[in-house]
Amino acid sequence: MIHFFNTQFEALSIHKIGNQHKNEGLLLSNEPHVLDDELNGHLKEFFFKPFREKEEVYYHFTHEVDLEFHPLYQVISQVFNKTTSFHQASCDIAKHLYDQSKHPHIKSGELYVTQLQGVVYNNQKINALGIFKSELKQDFLQVEGTQTMPEMRIKQGINLNKLDKGCIVLELEQESGFRIMSIDTNRYDSKYWLEAFLGVSLMEDGHFFTKNYLKFCQGFAKEVVFPAEDKQQEVLFMNKAVHHFAKNDHFNESAFIEEVIDNPALIPEFKHYKVERGPKYNLEDVAEFDIANKAVTESRKKIRNVIQLDTNIQIKLDFVNPESAQKFVEKGWDEEKINQNNNELDGLIEPMVEEDSVEDNMQDTTTN
């Protein structure tokens, strides 16, 4: 788990990145920006808020040959190893981003490179480097002039409630490409930020596998358990699956199947579903991993654990104690409702019989 409550800016450099396709230039600042307390408060909220609101997903730098050929990895390593100045490194990062800004859809904007202290990850204080970009400008109204003669002007500025792109590189696991968080609120050019500029891949760790396995279970519950049994069993299956993850630190697929799947007929179905759908969740060769509690908590919030009755009453099951849910929820029929339905059917049948009798009598009369 990560948080930025006591994170401080050690340094900040700002550069202007244009679009090469539109013949826009690259403007590099001569020195780091001078920070002040009022500005720091606004910038911390601007930079960190999107990461607080986003599910924790981590990436790492990768290269098809070797990380020593990854330009961004090399520059950031030099910053953490103190073999280059921070501002020079920020200029190199800006040049690398400008080199990737050749597509006509890529927007120009401001690049902020920050050296961070006091980021807390898993209760450990660490250093980090932040790279953020603002692109879209918004109109705002500014009132100027004297009290007796105010003037209104329309100006453009950066919305501090919406960061367009950003990444935070934690000084962790340097040998495998660092641990990185990234956000991109403009989906139209995501390859430009993640692939062309950052050059990262998803980090397949315990958090990644925990989240994906629970998504995989949701798919199995919806596509196999529900058609084979009913809605109650679909919800109860997910209830037990989440409980299994919540109470264990390590995941073993054989133990999971034995504990969670009550119906023996569904076990081969589960294994077949894993072969068919496992690649979609990057789980095809995964049978064991360390469980990430935060991922369980995040997934639990998104999983429906409600059974809707035909009387418009909802039963909400407890993920913490699935045994109680299974013990007290039983499929059945309301005796009173069955009688009511039978009476309604009788009411529909009787008039039909009477009509038939009338027709028979009429035929008899005509015959006579």
- Does pTM surpass 0.85? no
- Considering the domain architecture, whether residues 186 and 258 belong to the same structural domain is answered as no
Q: What is the pLDDT of residue 339?
A: 58
Last residue of one domain, picked from the residues 171, 202, 233: 202
Verify that 255 and 166 share a domain, yes or no. Answer: no
User: Is-contact 197 80, C-beta < 8 A?
Assistant: no
- Would you say residue 359 lies in a domain? no
* 238 domain-assigned: yes
Q: Give the residue from 180, 202, 224 where a domain finishes.
A: 202
Asked if residue 271 belongs to a domain, the reply is: yes
pLDDT for residue 355: 44
Spatial separation of the C-alpha atoms in residues 362 and 100, rounded to whole Å: 92
Residues 186 and 231 in one domain: no
Token duo for residue 32: 């780091």
Phi, psi of 274 (to 5 degrees): -65, -40
259 & 118 share domain: no
Q: Does residue 158 sit in the same domain as residue 298?
A: no
Stretches where the chain sits below pLDDT 70 are 187-190, 304-368
Residue 343 lies in a domain: no
In a domain, 102, yes or no: yes
Does any domain span residue 291?
yes
Domain C-terminal end among 202, 221, 253: 202
166 with 75, same domain? yes
Structural domain contains residue 346: no
Domains: count for the chain: 2
Burial 9-24 (b: 16+ CB within 10 A, else e): bebbbbbbbbbbeeee
Same-domain check for residues 193 and 210: no
SS3 at position 137: strand
Dig out the tokens for 132 from the structure. Answer: 């953020």
- In the chain, the largest separation of any two C-alpha atoms, in whole Å, equals 118
Tell whether 214 and 194 lie within a shared domain. Answer: no
User: Do residues 226 and 191 share a domain?
Assistant: no
Looking at the structure, do residues 120 and 89 belong to the same domain, yes or no?
A: yes
Task: Compute the CA torsion angle 17, 79, 165, 300 (nearest 10 deg).
Answer: 170
Let me know if residue 336 belongs to a domain.
Answer: no
Instruction: Write out the residue range of the structural domain in which residue 104 sits.
Output: 2-202
164 and 24 in a common domain: yes
- Classify residue 83 by its DSSP letter: S
Helix (H, G, I), strand (E, B) or coil at 115: strand
User: Is 285 found in the same domain as 159?
Assistant: no
Helical H segments across 161-220, by residue range: 190-191, 206-220
Q: Which long-range contacts (CB under 8 A, 24 or more apart) does 85-92 make?
A: 86/10, 86/11, 86/13, 86/32, 86/113, 86/115, 87/11, 87/13, 87/29, 87/31, 87/32, 89/113, 90/13, 90/15, 90/32, 91/13, 91/15, 91/28
Residue in 251, 252, 226, 165 with CA at minimum distance from that of residue 200: 165
